[in-house]
A and B are shown apart, each in its own frame.
Chain A
Amino acid sequence: MILAEAKKMNKEVFNEKNLVKDGTQKMDALKKSPKLATLEEAIKKSGLKDGMTISFHHHFRGGDKVVNMVVDKLAEMGFKNLSLAASSLQDVHAPLIEHIKNGVITSISTSGLRGKLADEISRGLMDTPVVFRSHGGRGSAIATGELHIDVAFIGASSCDPMGNACGFSRSENAKSICGSLGYALPDAQYADKVVILTDDLVAYPNTPNSISERNVDFVVEVESVGDSSKIASGAIRDTKNPRDILLAQTAAKVIVNSGYFKEGFSIQTGSGGASLAAVKYIRQSMIDQNIHASFALGGITAHMVKLHEEGLIDRLIDVQSFDRVAAESIMNDPKHKEASANEYASADEPGSATHALDIVILSALEVDTEFNVNVLVGSDGIIRGAIGGHQDTAADSALSIIVCPLLRGRIPCVVDKVTTLITPGKSVDVVVTEYGIAVNPNRPEIAERLKAAGLNIVDINWLKDRALKTIGEPAALPFGDKVVGVVMNRDGSVLDVIKNIAE
């Protein structure tokens, strides 16, 4: 009877020999997880081959040690022609230049590039153009399979031998913490093989966990995955620049008088000194008018955590922790939620948090008279930034505010036409400069409210002319004919291309 039924179901009949009983004390047995491996073993066992795609996250920002460590190892093992799919790349990744020259890495997709690597790529280092995606766009591309990851290498601040991993650690051996692992979560979910690298191998179970053991194939213990002290550097430093502070104060006035500053509003601040600092200046208005935010989104900072702990912001949704205070808060506070890139900002994810976002404050390298924004390519034609969540938040928010000085040195920030199109002007509502505030003609109601509040509203063409009057007419940049970068829109369409800069 059993055999007959088993046959009908195309199954075997139970055999006791296949049942293994192990009486070892589990805390000892679990230390010998089959997932534990050296980096080289993990790479071999992962089945990685020439031509495949590897991925990385950038939560350690300038302090990241994983990309260089893994790519050095892959080069040593003789791999060639790999595609590197990073959530972003920083100054610290300059050693990739040699790996590109040696043919180890032949294509890159990322949110941004900075430093020497960006400089070399801008001058034509790579034969294949770098593909730039927003954070939400990258999440979508991974989920739909457009960006297929063969092996993900994920640096984690703690991990148990089964692969339960976090961007923080509850053990006394905690070394490097980065907080949210939001950008790595699509990689963990969709990559064919997932390798966790950790500098704090903790006892099972490492709960509450960010990445589940179900998605992890190998766990590699390393000396260090990153330098936490370098997270709050570069684009996300806390500003002391008086002009940034003036811009932040003006942006705060725009928010308070925009018509969206109401009980239960939601807010995000992008990277850049002035936009991060704006939060400090809306705090007093929230207290005075007894207004509370339902959530703050995005790169979460110490300022946001402070407002949350004071009861001014109910929830924090965190795709990336911008400093140590935020990284510790996400570990300890259940109302401080970690969000994947898709949950944060993907256009095709109806529940992504940007769809529930009222106000976003963003920075810019350039804004043009059509309100188009460039945050990627400097006015010298050299790549020096990242799309980040710029496109995503500007498009989905009810009110997007760009904060930028009129001039950086002799370089104008309000121009006739952006060097590279990153965020289409249709999704940009207000531009705050120290010379005045320009409002997109599509949003006359906002201009009216700001005027009524006594703010200095000017035409964006006046700002452009004001800049030129001070600096003179810049000569055209010496672009060549080689495409070094392709800028994707968050919906998967191609927005613009970046050409090489010729000497």
Chain B
Amino acid sequence: MELKTAQAGTLESGDIVIELAPATGAGIEIELNSTVAYQFGEQIKKVITETLQGLDITAAHVTATDKGALDCTIKARTTAAAVRATGKDVWM
């Protein structure tokens, strides 16, 4: 799917900023910067990847700046960024 650069989320505690850009290689690449990287780094990447795949995005460059967001927040921010990047509304 065609992607423009787009982002969603804030740097508040408990939130995450997801920035989506066209893929530079194959598949979904995630650059994660998280305050809870030791305990939840893999889980955060997994939620982002699954959320994007669920929206039929199989290749993207993701920059994620996490301030301890819960999975539901990560999913919501990733979805919002994807909608902005693709122009395709998933909530209609």
A interface vs B, CB < 8 Å?
379-381, 408-411, 470-472, 474-475, 477-478, 501
* B44 → chain A closest CB, angstroms: 9
**A409 and B38 within 8 A (CB):** no
Within 8 Å of chain A (Cβ to Cβ): is B13? Answer: yes
Q: Which residue of chain B has its CB nearest to the CB of A501?
A: B38
Within 8 Å of chain A (Cβ to Cβ): is B55? Answer: no
How does the 8 Å CB contact mask read for B43-62 relative to A, with 1 for contact and 0 for none? 10000000000000000000
Which residues of chain A come closer than 8 Å to B67, judged between CB atoms?
409
B interface vs A, CB < 8 Å?
13-14, 35-36, 38-43, 67-71
**B14 and A409 within 8 A (CB):** yes
Which residues of chain A come closer than 8 Å to B13, judged between CB atoms?
408-409
**A410 and B38 within 8 A (CB):** no
**A409 and B71 within 8 A (CB):** no
Q: Which residue of chain A has its CB nearest to the CB of B67?
A: A409
- Interface of chain A, main secondary structure: loop
* A251 → chain B closest CB, angstroms: 22
**A475 and B42 within 8 A (CB):** yes
Residue of A380, A470, A478, A501 near B36 (CB, 8 A) is: A380
Which residues of chain B come closer than 8 Å to A475, judged between CB atoms?
38-43
**A411 and B71 within 8 A (CB):** no
* B71 → chain A closest CB, angstroms: 6
Q: How far does the alpha carbon of A230 sit from the alpha carbon of B17 in the complex, in Å?
A: 32
**B39 and A409 within 8 A (CB):** no
Tally the A-B contacts, defined by beta carbons under 8 Å. 44
* A350 → chain B closest CB, angstroms: 44
Residue of B35, B39, B68, B71 near A477 (CB, 8 A) is: B39
Q: Which residue of chain A has its CB nearest to the CB of B39?
A: A474
Which residues of chain B come closer than 8 Å to A501, judged between CB atoms?
38
Which residues of chain B come closer than 8 Å to A379, judged between CB atoms?
39
**A410 and B70 within 8 A (CB):** yes
* B30 → chain A closest CB, angstroms: 17
Residue of A381, A408, A472, A478 near B68 (CB, 8 A) is: A408
Which residues of chain B come closer than 8 Å to A477, judged between CB atoms?
38-39
**A411 and B38 within 8 A (CB):** no
* B33 → chain A closest CB, angstroms: 14
**A470 and B70 within 8 A (CB):** yes
Q: How far does the alpha carbon of A472 sit from the alpha carbon of B71 in the complex, in Å?
A: 8
Q: Which residue of chain B has its CB nearest to the CB of A479?
A: B38
Q: How far does the alpha carbon of A477 sit from the alpha carbon of B41 in the complex, in Å?
A: 11
Known contacts A409-B13, A409-B14, A380 near B39 by CB under 8 Å: yes
Q: Which residue of chain B has its CB nearest to the CB of A412?
A: B39
Which residues of chain B come closer than 8 Å to A410, judged between CB atoms?
14, 36, 39-40, 68-70
Residue of B38, B43, B69 near A380 (CB, 8 A) is: B38
**A474 and B40 within 8 A (CB):** yes
**A409 and B36 within 8 A (CB):** yes
- Which one of A408, A409, A474 has the highest number of Cβ atoms from chain B below 10 Å of its Cβ? A409
- Which one of B41, B42, B68 has the highest number of Cβ atoms from chain A below 10 Å of its Cβ? B68
- Known A380-B35, A380-B36; further 11 A-B contacts with Cβ < 8 A: A380-B39, A408-B68, A409-B13, A409-B35, A411-B39, A411-B68, A471-B40, A472-B40, A474-B40, A475-B41, A501-B38
